[in-house]
Amino acid sequence: MMRKIWGVPAVLAACMLAAAPAEAQFGSLLRKVTTPSPAPSPSSDDNGGCPKGKKGSSVGRGILGGVIRDAVGDAASKAGVYSYVPIAEVSGTLTDAIACKLDPAEQVQAAKATEEITRGEEVGATSNWTSETRENVSGSSTIASINQEGGGRKCMTVNDFIIVDGEETQVSKRMCKGPGDARYTLAA
């Protein structure tokens, strides 16, 4: 008989716990922790309207970029929404502010334009390109200056200019190559 008396309250208690919200049952264990969002920096650099993020290794960006591009790209293109991730192939040549506005094929075209002019090493040299994948997308790269640094390192300032559906974006980048390097790459 003792079993019946003890069994009923246990069943009732279990039913009441199941019906109560999780926060009421476990109190502070499930309380949300909120962190204040950081204040925007007073910098005037808005990354060209592209999302900002931490930079990882180019290998990691390449792998992650490929996965994201495959998974999100198909869904985005079906929905008519485009969002581009810089591909690893151009990470040493294009800035994120330019690459994020271009699809992968356009990123390759823009990178080739930059590589073409940097090989010639002539101030004022310009290479233009027009998208083969989208209408109303084009760009150019122009060498603005070249200087010789200590230790045989050469650096240049290259201006990238793109137009995507009438919206113009211009970014200056510094590219360098050391003695024995095959090509110029983005410098910090």
Under the phi-then-psi rule, with left for phi > 0, alpha for psi from -120 to 50, and beta for the rest, what region is 158? beta
> Mean pLDDT across the stretch 97-108?
94
**Coil, helix or strand at residue 67:** helix
Q: What is the pLDDT of residues 57-79, one digit of tens each?
A: 444 455 555 555 555 455 444 43
Residue ranges making up the domain that contains 73:
56-186
| In a domain? residue 13 | no
And the tokens for 185? 């790459």
Contacts of 49 (CB under 8 A, 6+ apart): 97, 101, 169
- The answer to whether residue 8 is domain-embedded is no
Burial (CB count within 10 angstroms: exposed 0-12, middle 13-18, buried 19+), residue 85: buried
Residue 117 lies in a domain: yes
Q: Does any domain span residue 31?
A: no
Other residues' Cβ atoms within 10 Å of the Cβ of residue 69: 17
Rounded to an integer, the average pLDDT of 108-136 is 95
Q: How many CB atoms lie within 10 A of CB 27?
A: 9
The predicted structure's pLDDT at residue 49: 56
* pLDDT on residue 170: 96
Query: What mean pLDDT do residues 85-108 have?
Result: 90
- The number of distinct structural domains making up the chain is 1
Kindly give, in sequence order, each residue whose CB lies less than 8 Å from that of residue 90, ignoring residues fewer than 6 positions away. 99, 107, 108, 110, 111
Share of the chain above pLDDT 90, in %: 48
pTM: predicted TM-score of the whole model, two decimal places: 0.59
Calpha distance 152→174 (Å, rounded): 16
Separation of alpha carbons 28 and 23, rounded Å: 7
DSSP 166: T
Q: Answer yes or no: are the C-beta atoms of 112 and 130 closer than 8 Å.
A: no
Alpha carbons 133 and 156: distance in angstroms, whole number: 30
The rounded distance, in Å, linking the Cα atoms of 20 and 115 is 65
Average pLDDT, the chain: 73
**129 in Cβ contact with 138 (< 8 Å):** yes
> Residue 169: CB partners within 8 Å, gap ≥ 6?
48, 49, 97, 98, 101, 161, 162, 163
Is residue 150 assigned to a domain? yes
Q: Is residue 151 assigned to a domain?
A: yes
Residue 131 has pLDDT above 90, yes or no: yes
Nearest to 86 by CA among 102, 75, 74: 102
